[in-house]
Amino acid sequence: MARWEPDARGRLMLAALALYTERGYEQTTVADIAQRAGVTERTFFRHFTDKREVLFDGSATLQSTVVAAIADAPSDALPLDVIGAAMERAAVSMQDRRDFARQRAAIIAATPSLHERELLKLATLSTAAATALQTRGVPPVPAALAAELGVAVFKVAFEQWISDSPDFPTCIRAALAELSALHRA
C-alpha cells in the first residue's frame, strides 16, 4: 500500500467545492478543506497558490481550447468569425458539466473575492485570445477588441446556459446573433 492516498489534488478540489457550498467561502478555512481531504494545510498550499485557486483548475484547459481553436481556423476567416467559432468550441468542451458549472457559479456569485478571481481568469483568456489573433496577422487593437467581444459573448451565453437553456453552444450562437443585431440596428 502506498504511503498516501492518491490524488490529493482532486480530493482537495472536491472538498473545497462541497464546503464552500455547505457553509460559504468565508466560513470555510483552508484547514477545514485539508482535513476533509485527509491532508495537511501545507499540502493544500503546495497544490494551490491560494484559497481561491482551488475552484479554477479548469481555466488553463479552457484557455488552451480557445487558443487552439483560433489557430485552427481557416486563414481567410474574419476575426469576429474566428472568435465566435472559438467560443463555440469552448462551450462544447464544457457542455457535459452543467451541474458542476452551476454549483461553481453559485458559489462565485455569492463571493466578491471569487468573482474577482473569475474576472482575472477571463481577462487572461482575453489576452491569450488576442495574442492568438495577432499570430494570424490581425493588428493589436482589432485583436484586443475582438477578444474582449468574445469574452463578453461567453459571459452572456454562460448566464443563459446555467439559468435557462440546456445547450451551451446554442447560447453562444444566440449571443453572437444579438451582437450582430446591435450593430445592424
Cα 162 to Cα 126: distance, rounded to the nearest angstrom: 22
Evaluate whether 138 touches 79 at the Cβ level (below 8 Å): yes
Evaluate whether 115 touches 108 at the Cβ level (below 8 Å): yes
Q: Which residue has the cell 501545507?
A: 42
Residue 8 or 62: the one with the smaller Cβ distance to its own copies is: 62
Which three-class secondary structure state does DSSP give residue 124? helix
Residue 43 or 134: the one with the smaller Cβ distance to its own copies is: 134
List binders of DNA among 17-46 (CB under 7 A). Answer: 28-31, 38-43, 45-46
Least Å distance between CB 27 and DNA? Answer: 8
- What are the angstrom distances between the C-alpha of 105 and each of 21, 86, 99, 140, 159? 11, 22, 10, 32, 9
Least Å distance between CB 59 and its own copies? Answer: 14
28: Cα separation from own chain's centroid: 23
Evaluate whether 149 touches 82 at the Cβ level (below 8 Å): no
List 34, 79, 132, 162, residue binding its own copies (CB under 8 A) = 79
153: partner contacted, choices its own copies, DNA, none (Cβ within 5-8 A by kind): its own copies
Least Å distance between CB 156 and its own copies? Answer: 5
What residue ranges bind DNA (CB under 7 A)? 2-4, 8-9, 28-31, 38-43, 45-47, 49-52
What residue ranges bind its own copies (CB under 8 A)? 78-80, 112, 115-117, 119-120, 123, 141-142, 144-146, 148-149, 152-153, 155-156, 159-160, 175, 178-183, 185
